[in-house]
Structure 1
Amino acid sequence: MTVLERIQLLRDELNNHNYNYYVLDNATISDFDFDIKLKELEKLEIENPEFFDSNSPTQRVGGAITKNFETITHKNRMYSLDNSYSKEDLLDWEKRVQKGLGREDLEYTCELKFDGASINLTYENGKFIKAVTRGDGFQGDNVTANVKTIRSIPLSIKNEFVSNFQMRGEIILPLDGFNKMNEERVANGEEEYRNPRNTASGSLKLQDSAEVAKRPLDCLLYQVVTEERKYKTHFEILENARNVGFKVPKTITLAKTIDEVFDFVNHWDKKRHDLPYETDGVVIKVNNLQQQEELGYTSKAPRWAIAYKFKAEQVSTVLNEITYQVGRTGAITPVANLEPVQLAGTTVKRASLHNADQIAKLDIRENDTVFVEKGGEIIPKIIAVDLTKRPIDSQPTMYATNCPECNTALVRTEGDAKHYCPNEFGCAPQITGRIQHFISRKAMDIDGLGGETVDLLRKEGLIQNYADLYDLKVEQVIPLERMAEKSAQNMIAGIEKSKEIPFEKVLFALGIRFVGETVAKKLAKHFKSIDNLMTANFEELINVDEIGDRIAQSIVDFSNDLGNIQLIERLKVYGVQLEVSAESLENQTNKLEGQVFVVSGVFHQMSRNELKKAIEDNGGKVSSSISKKTNFIVAGDNMGPSKLTKAQDLGISIISEQDFIDKIS
């Protein structure tokens, strides 16, 4: 046997033992014998560096130091899930799905919702390539070196699966391992970790992967993302993923009806506390992958999946004081400052009170004993007051009349739930908040500049608005607290690079009230430049698809403000992209302007996303459901029967994939 053959044999054996122990929970070798084989492999690899393999079992022990985690854009966005809290919510979701597909004969998968840190694992030709955190869904941090130390994640797969794919799952810390870690910390006189989820998430960002390797992290996988169409259902592809070595929980179940979904929910609502890891709900998905593709996504979540959250834990505590926060748009949010209390594994000191109406509805007062729960197990909220414990001298809450930061009188327009501070250019939190929004990942994505630095720059008088960023010089920034020369250079370089950010993101970055990411894209596509947008009147704006009165009036108000006009002119001078680039316009036409398309079925020449993009690039609109406004249905194989019937009843033209291609050629 050659040295290479011996090395490969040891790698295969050790990978197999790792799989048996960490995935199947069925040890096939003693720890001593495993270590002997691992040491032999390490020795052979050191003596024969030409046979190095980054995915060798010897690389799982860690040792790589990562000082700065590289930001990587996800090839496929990692969406959030819509949440439901009742059986009625699930029934409503099923109706939307049935309507979207035009059929009622659906099959679902039910999976436990793991409480950990979301991760995206990339494999090419059976080899593990990289691991990236969820981040904001569009981009995350490269934590490959740390994730390699998790032994339940295969670094290579031999059996036939799919060539190139991404595995998505949760990095978790099983309860036994978490408790042992805390026992060790107590014995060493250190403070205990608060909860498994935050500890797992924090572990991924440790700089020394050898330290990560010491932690009993695990990875539970729940989705395969691939362009290959080898499998027809979500359940089938996960079963095959498990067969080739991935740790896919066996709790996943098929449900033929929504009643079977309820049975799964009821079972695990009672049994979840017997699990070796934390779970906070159930995820229900349409099983058929082609139907998933047809349903598509909203701007935030897949239409084909929903999370059912188990009833949140509740505690009671005393509300010591109500204070008020000012957001970047001037919106005032009342905050309950609570006597600290443990809730769902974290210490809760504050809770949002939302607005004046909510305070009045629940009659919330200072010094009340209140019941607190985590809405969706994330954001603490007050759900009720214990009136039996209300002090005798209690007085109703008088909502703030002036801004807590600049003392300007607050305003509240009819139909708006919140109060606002109108001192847009003179109120410190609004100034800082707008700049922080401007530099954020989904907006200008300026590297080397964070929220604390923005606040420091403002306090030092170096910036008062986002246009001021482009006047900053390295020598102005270096004297700031905790600012080294290299950091200052990185910041200025990041600001300079932001001039390449496309118009639709710049438009979102401007922070126009009610103009979120999706609206910014629609406006950029329609008006093509900031000049066209700011000279548009109210009627022109509301004629744009999905732009209502509130958004239109907000844009008009922004465009008529002298301060905003001056800011935009300065951004133009600095070279910020304030119009759609020529490259973006190259392949766009108005051939389909004013026409509404529904795309349904399985296609062969173009993917569904390519079809939708082609419609939009040629001026058309894609709708997810058939209505009287629909002009054409691009029909592929397996189109839902009720969709077909509805289209025929409404007299809508049904065209094939080839008909559509001919139409835009």
Structure 2
Amino acid sequence: MSQLPVEQELATLREQLENWNYQYYVLDDPSVPDAEYDRAMRRLTELETAHPQLLRPDSPSQRVGAEPLAGFTQVRHELPMLSLDNAFSAEELGDFNRRVLERLKLPPDTELEYACEPKLDGIAVSLLYRDGVLERGATRGDGTTGEDITHNVRTIQSVPLRLRGSGYPALLEVRGEIYLPKAGFEALNARAREQGEKTFVNPRNAAAGTLRQLDARLTAQRPLQMCCYSVGLYEGGDLPVRQSDILDLLHEWGLRINPESEVVQGFAACDAYYQRLAERRDSLPYDIDGIVYKVNDLALQQRLGFVSRAPRWAIARKFPAQEEMTRLLAVEFQVGRTGAITPVARLEPVFVGGVTVSNATLHNSDEIERLGVMVGDHVIVRRAGDVIPQVVSVVLEKRPADASAVEFPETCPVCGSAVEREADEAVLRCMGGLVCAAQQKAALRHFVSRKAMDIDGLGDKLIEQLVDRELLENAAGLYTLDKPTLLDLERMGDKSADKLLDALEASKSTTLERFIYALGIREVGEATARNLAQFFGSWEALAAAPEEKLLEVPDVGPVVADHLRQFFDDKAIMAVVEKLRAEGVHWDNVEVRAAEELPLQGETWVVTGTLESMGRSEAKNHLQDLGAKVAGSVSAKTTRVVAGPGAGSKLAKAEQLGVEVIDEAAFLALLAGHGVAP
């Protein structure tokens, strides 16, 4: 076969297969039987195998990678992927419409044009096309930084590897939602049950787990879909001036958009659209948790701008939290890291908000008293925010004659130690400390967590086994674990054991503030640990500090100072700390600078909006290093405000109070002037 006919046949096959993909996955209108598609794909693969020099990365045969990735890399969004404000009622949606009209200085009876679409319950992602070819796929992450999931995105049939037609910008970022249709979710769980594997709790979790697969071949086995809802960054071309027209154009270029999307006129039509979709919610082939409304005119969007991390021109009206009635079978008590004993409701299983709920939090004795709940009661269970199950009320008319009061334990339900409740707290605490297995496990989970010692591979199941088998009493014991001990644990293979031992070794080199935080001292979070490290500079100085010296540390009051002093005075705890250091855990001491040497000492700053060069937490850390206090709200005591794009109410408050406001460029210049390199 000559070279030219091969190239022509390859081009024909690729075009044909992409057309069939578009008709099947985007238009929902298949034009050929599966057998014909399979024959064409097989022929394409044969030709590309025989002529590897003609293989192209956007070929339909290249949707599935050959080798798994070692891990995910971070992707920084050049334009932040903002979240949406929520409305939970028609009144709140009406308030949104009123605010839009007021900001646009339009009469209150103006009926604006809104683009409406179902809010898919999936994972927000960004697709980057360069010259029409898919270059990168990334998760939303925190809005500024996500994860590179290109290898998985390429397996999704409704995501074109090359855009169709012409006229698209040279650089085009498309944003949308990746989700798992209900039918695919049911099939996935059915297969898992047949193979004796764990099932997924809902389609969103299944989609999220699928996108985090390092092996794209596994992703390809799950029928993910992508629906586009907007455009982010674009260069080298123009786009329409209406949101709905942009979506139509994306559809022409081969991307899937939601067929339920509509353009309506005015608030009343927005509410009617919501009611229609709410009635059809259960019959849709995918999960939705609300409706998204966007001002359709992009020029008006520009005028409306942003507030905080959300646009002023869009809102999501959420469906009501789904509630169900079930029976409270028992109340059990869990013991946390600090000894706090929390009541947990054991329920007759009930399907709420897409999952089967059998447990719910009761928080503490005050909450139980407020609810008036008794064992045996029928209760209303809600998944707050569609995430956390909670008991919200008791159906008193269905209370059985044999209902019994909830009795709190007189001793720790795990170790039998005495329990105490401080006068100003609603929480009951186990006083067993290190002898309590539950506290040991919780303390170890905290110690190994990402923001503490960051020991990858040491999950809850392993910690459970190590404590239950009495192989581990405290954090110091982690560094005495050896390979034979690890291999004796369930689900621990040779490679996993090696990786865990490597992670333990790597964690020995840490920072003083991380180490302080990892110890789990009561009321000492990340910020306080940082302040303690910067104030004292060394562990020795901190541990020896009297209570009055501790009170000089920013954000340390009498309660925290008392907790710290009790911690340092406990000989058993200090023995564990010394053992950790003897096993090689180390850090560099922090240079202690007198308060008067810190250039921003005594100043109060606020960071608002989105910064392009760093996250707000990083900006906060830099300011604290220079001596500033960073507040969450603007007041007359605020010294200065750093305002990035999307700054809203805090910026307005600063301007109202006459507080100095600087942009990101001025902030970076200030940091550089004090020797801080972001």
- Give the TM-score normalised by structure 1: 0.76
CA contact (8 A) 1:238 1:248 kept: no
- Farther-moved stretch of structure 1 (148-157 vs 522-531): 522-531
Q: Report the CA distance shift for 1:242/1:579 in structure 2 as closer, same or farther (over 3 A).
A: farther
Cα deviations by residue, 1:404-457 (Å, 9 ceiling, x for unpaired): 001122222233232111212110011011112222334333233222222222
Q: Determine the structure 1 residue equivalent to 2:179.
A: 171
Which of 327, 335, 351 is the equivalent residue of 2:344? Answer: 335
Hey, what does 2:22 align to over in structure 1? 19
Q: Which residue of 46, 49, 63 maps to 2:49?
A: 46
Give the 5 Å matches for 1:176-575: 176-178=183-185, 195-201=202-208, 213=220, 215-221=222-228, 239=247, 244-249=253-258, 268-282=277-291, 295-296=308-309, 309-517=318-526, 520=529, 530-531=539-540, 534=543, 551=560, 553-575=562-584
Q: Which residue of 1 aligns with 2:71?
A: 70
Cα gap change, 1:231 to 1:563, in 2 (>3 Å) = farther
Distance 1:455 1:83 in 2: 39
Match of 1:630 in 2: 638
Aligned to 2:109: none
SS in structure 1 at match of 2:348: strand
Q: Given residue 312 of structure 1, which amino acid in structure 2 is its aligned partner? A: A
Distance 2:12 2:19 in 1: 11
Q: Is the 8 A contact 1:152 1:246 kept in 2?
A: yes
CA–CA distance in structure 1, aligned partners of residues 117 and 560 of structure 2: 39
| C-alpha contact (below 8 Å) 2:178/2:224 kept by paired residues | no
Aligned mates of 1:276, 1:519 — CA distance in 2: 48
Q: Give the match for residue 115 of structure 1.
A: 121
2:149 is equivalent to residue 148 of structure 1: no
Structure 2: how far apart are the matches of 1:82 and 1:93? 10
1:425 alignment partner, SS class: helix
- 1:590 is aligned, of 594, 598, 601, to 598
Checking the alignment, whether the CA contact within 8 Å between 1:296 and 1:304 is kept in structure 2 is no
Q: CA 1:119–1:581 in structure 2 vs 1: closer, same or farther (change >3 Å)?
A: farther
The 2-side partners of 1:46 and 1:81 are apart by: 47
Q: CA shift at 1:218, angstroms?
A: 1.2
- Aligned sequence identity (%): 35
The answer (yes or no) to whether the contact 1:165–1:226 under 8 Å persists in 2 is yes
Contact map agreement 1:91 1:258 (CA 8 A) in 2: yes
Q: SS of the counterpart of 1:448?
A: coil
Shift of 1:326: 1.1
5+ unaligned residues in a row in structure 2: which ranges? 107-111, 674-678
Deviation of the 1:195 alpha carbon = 4.8
Change (3 A) 1:460 1:399: closer
Distance 1:539 1:225 in 2: 53
User: Cα RMSD between the aligned structures?
Assistant: 5.4
Is the 2:154–2:161 Cα contact (8 Å) retained in structure 1?
yes
Letter of the structure 2 residue corresponding to residue 467 of structure 1:
A
Alignment of 1:81-100 (within 5 A): 85=88
In 1, the alpha carbon distance for the partners of 2:372 and 2:149 equals 47
Once the two structures are TM-superposed, the CA of residue 331 in structure 1 deviates from its matched residue by 1.5
Answer whether contact 1:448 1:491 (CA < 8 A) is retained.
Answer: yes
Q: What amino acid does structure 2 have at the position aligned with 1:7?
A: L
Cα distance, 1:484–1:65 mapped onto 2, change above 3 Å: same
**Cα offset for 1:45?**
0.6
CA distance in 2, matches of 1:549, 1:530: 20
Where does residue 58 of structure 1 map in the other structure? 61
Pair 1:228–1:180, CA change in 2 (3 A)? same
Cα gap change, 1:191 to 1:511, in 2 (>3 Å): closer
Report if the CA contact (8 A) 2:483-2:498 is conserved.
Answer: yes
Give distance in 1, aligned partners of 2:196 and 2:664. 68
For structure 1, the residue ranges without an aligned partner over 5 or more in a row are: none
Distance 1:244 1:653 in 2: 47
Larger mean CA deviation between 410-419 and 183-192 belongs to 183-192
Structure 1 pair 558–71 and aligned structure 2 pair: CA distance change class (3 A) = farther
Q: What letter matches 1:38 in structure 2?
A: M
* C-alpha contact (below 8 Å) 1:599/1:635 kept by paired residues: yes
Inter-CA distance 612–236: structure 2 relative to 1 (3 Å threshold): farther
Offset of 1:327 from its aligned partner? Answer: 1.6
SS of structure 2 residue aligned to 1:420: strand
> Using a 3 Å threshold, how does the CA distance of structure 1 residues 621 and 363 change in structure 2: closer, same or farther?
closer
Give secondary structure in 2 for the equivalent of 1:489: helix
Q: Secondary structure at the match of 2:391?
A: strand
The total of aligned residue pairs comes to 648
Q: Which moved further from structure 2: 522-531 or 147-156?
A: 522-531
Per the alignment, residue 676 of structure 2 pairs with none
